[in-house]
Amino acid sequence: MADRDQPSAPIAGNAKPSAEPSAEPSAGLAAPVAPITVVTGGSEGIGLALAHRFAKAGDHVAIVARNPERLARAASELRAAGATVVEIAADVTAPDTPAVIDAALAARGYYADVLINNAGIGLSGAFADEPEAAIERAMATNVTALTRLTRHMLPAMLNRRRGGILNVASMGGFMPGPYQALYYASKAYVLSLTEALAFEAAGNGVRIAVLAPGPVETRFHARMGAERARYRTLMHAMSPARVAGFGYWGFRVGRRVIVPGFVWPVVALAARITPHVLLNPMMAWLLYTEPRQPLPK
């Protein structure tokens, strides 16, 4: 793929754009005529793997992430693989992020054809022990930001009668998750919302799907302090690239709920039909992690 119109630096995010996102581009800016795939949390892990997979199929990709250094490294990695990339340094939880993304894309002559809502935060431990700020941040990222971006992008896709949305959830969305309660509940929300929107949009040329992988070998588990939980040793973790492959093909063929692998779809079905009185203690045993000790003063 030719690497055309590459930015020399990331487009700064969360600053008020000069025009409303639906307005005509200002003088000197290209009209938004070219489609692009937008990936939030696209600087590493599943998000970066999805950006690679969609780029491999010929899509131009825009990756959105908070950390400018990781964003730049991810963009360089994608370009080295032949991708055309737009970098957008933005915090998805900021209310103005949809407008920031629109302005950044319009400045390069793009519109969001496919939105991949991948940004997410996990919390491990008893819910009552989690700091309120951490809970607010997780809710803002996993629920509010995803909902806001979906609502912002979907009407234009329906008007164009093309494009789509791929939301990244988790196997955790199929069941309660004691000791990762908020994370599991937030992914249940993503599953429910996506399935309902897919039904509403059916027949309008817009694909809406949810990707629900089991454990994936990324830094996600360590970040939330879950590396010592039993599921990390007892359950096989897939590679981000393999998850992205299942996600890409499931999305392209029109599946609404995509569970990567061959064993995990069976597990998802079992989780749907197993009474929670049995499921709760099993999941608690798998997810429990000894409380983290405070650092010495």
Tell whether 38 is covered by a domain: yes
- Indicate whether 2 pLDDT > 60: no
pLDDT at 30: 52
- Indicate the pLDDT class of residue 297, thresholds 50, 70 and 90: very low
Q: How far is Cα 258 from Cα 167, in angstroms, rounded to an integer?
A: 10
pLDDT at 3: 38
Tell whether 1 is covered by a domain: no
Q: Which residue has the higher pLDDT, 228 or 3?
A: 228
Q: Which domain holds residue 167?
A: 34-287
Tell whether 293 is covered by a domain: no
Measured over the CA atoms of residue 276, residue 280, residue 281 and residue 287, the dihedral's sign is positive
pLDDT at 19: 33
What strands lie across the sheet with 110-117, from one edge to the other?
11-12, 85-89, 61-65, 34-40, 110-117, 164-168, 207-211, 257-258
The CATH number of whichever domain residue 64 belongs to comes to: 3.40.50.720
Q: How far is Cα 44 from Cα 56, in angstroms, rounded to an integer?
A: 17
Tell whether 292 is covered by a domain: no
Q: How far is Cα 30 from Cα 27, in angstroms, rounded to an integer?
A: 8
Phi-psi region for residue 105, left (φ > 0), alpha (ψ -120 to 50) or beta? alpha
Tell whether 231 is covered by a domain: yes
Q: Do residues 6 and 84 make contact, with C-beta atoms less than 8 angstroms apart? A: yes
Q: Do residues 180 and 124 make contact, with C-beta atoms less than 8 angstroms apart? A: yes
Tally of domains within the chain: 1
Tell whether 28 is covered by a domain: no
- Indicate whether 22 pLDDT > 50: no
pLDDT in tens, 72-119: 999 999 999 999 999 999 999 999 999 999 999 999 999 999 999 999
- Tell me the mean pLDDT in the region 283-294: 78
| 88: β partners | 11, 64
- Indicate whether 128 pLDDT > 50: yes
Q: Do residues 38 and 64 make contact, with C-beta atoms less than 8 angstroms apart? A: yes
- Tell me the mean pLDDT in the region 243-261: 97
Q: Which helix (H) or strand (E) covers residue 207, if one does?
A: strand 207-211
pLDDT at 292: 58
Q: For the chain, give the number of residues.
A: 297
Q: How far is Cα 250 from Cα 79, in angstroms, rounded to an integer?
A: 25
Tell whether 134 is covered by a domain: yes
Which residues are part of the catalytic machinery?
183
What CA–CA distances, in Å, run from 200 to 121, 138, 234, 257, 260? 28, 27, 39, 15, 24
- Indicate the pLDDT class of residue 236, thresholds 50, 70 and 90: confident
Q: Which helix (H) or strand (E) covers residue 278, if one does?
A: helix 276-287
Tell whether 5 is covered by a domain: no
pLDDT at 26: 40
- Indicate whether 193 pLDDT > 60: yes
- Indicate whether 23 pLDDT > 50: no
- Indicate the pLDDT class of residue 142, thresholds 50, 70 and 90: very high
pLDDT at 194: 98
What CA–CA distances, in Å, run from 61 to 45, 112, 164? 16, 9, 14
pLDDT in tens, 42-75: 999 999 999 999 999 999 999 999 999 999 999 9
pLDDT in tens, 106-119: 999 999 999 999 99
- Indicate the pLDDT class of residue 225, thresholds 50, 70 and 90: confident
